[in-house]
């Protein structure tokens, strides 16, 4: 359980750096200036999104032999490494409406932005790989909050100081290492 929690938390926290949902956090913080409702929206949106992704991953994982599953998860993590190297830009369609409350705007925008995002795909892969679904979802959700809370509280001053290129390379390296570990485990 601890391994699945820590791998999930670390993977998502590092992968989230410079991601479009982190950019969305920055925009919401600059626009509304109310960190607690923004964090509550991020928490609920991430829990819902990653729970759905985790259920899909767990369902998918049941149909594969453990060795095959390890190779599939490992290969998907290696592909995630390549995806991580591409910088994200915030899509226009995730900008919340002005008339929405801060919490609702964050909840809706974050949920939509997270669909098909690399952290959601990572959650699917991790849930397929680890039997403790609750630990994976808790880890990925905590990783999302760890990456986004500083941006929400410190806003633009913090975001401009992050070495995003180095972080992307670090995240890609983490995905490659995890991918190789899973592939080696599956081919033994």
Tens of each residue's pLDDT in the chain, 188 residues: 999 999 999 999 988 887 878 878 887 887 788 899 999 999 999 999 999 999 999 998 888 888 887 888 788 878 877 876 776 555 444 444 444 589 998 999 899 889 888 899 999 999 999 999 999 999 999 999 999 999 899 875 655 566 667 767 877 787 788 889 889 988 98
Which pLDDT does position 95 carry in this prediction? 47
Q: What are phi and psi of 16, to 5 degrees?
A: -75, -20
Residue tagged 């290492």 (tokens): 177
Which pLDDT does position 161 carry in this prediction? 65
Which pLDDT does position 172 carry in this prediction? 79
Which pLDDT does position 89 carry in this prediction? 59
- Do residues 133 and 2 make contact, with C-beta atoms less than 8 angstroms apart? no
pTM for the complete prediction? 0.76
Contacts with 133 (C-beta within 8 Å, 6 or more apart), sequence order: 54, 55, 58, 127
SS3 162: coil
Which pLDDT does position 27 carry in this prediction? 79
Which pLDDT does position 59 carry in this prediction? 94
Which pLDDT does position 94 carry in this prediction? 41
């Amino acid at each position: 359980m601890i391994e699945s929690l820590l791998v999930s938390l670390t993977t998502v926290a590092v992968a989230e750096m410079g991601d479009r949902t982190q950019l969305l956090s920055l925009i919401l913080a600059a626009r509304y200036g109310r960190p607690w409702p923004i964090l509550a929206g991020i928490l609920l949106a991430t829990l819902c999104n990653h729970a759905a992704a985790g259920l899909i991953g767990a369902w998918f994982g049941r149909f594969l032999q453990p060795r095959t599953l390890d190779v599939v998860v490992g290969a998907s993590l290696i592909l995630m490494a390549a995806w991580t190297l591409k910088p994200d830009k915030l899509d226009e369609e995730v900008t919340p409406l002005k008339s929405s409350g801060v919490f609702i705007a964050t909840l809706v925008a974050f949920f939509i932005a997270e669909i098909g995002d690399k952290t959601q795909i990572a959650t699917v892969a991790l849930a397929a790989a680890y039997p403790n679904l609750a630990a994976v979802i808790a880890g990925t959700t905590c990783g999302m909050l760890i990456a986004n809370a500083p941006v929400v509280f410190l806003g633009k001053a913090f975001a401009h100081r992050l070495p995003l290129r180095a972080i992307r390379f670090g995240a890609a390296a983490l995905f490659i290492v995890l991918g190789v570990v899973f592939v080696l485990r599956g081919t033994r």
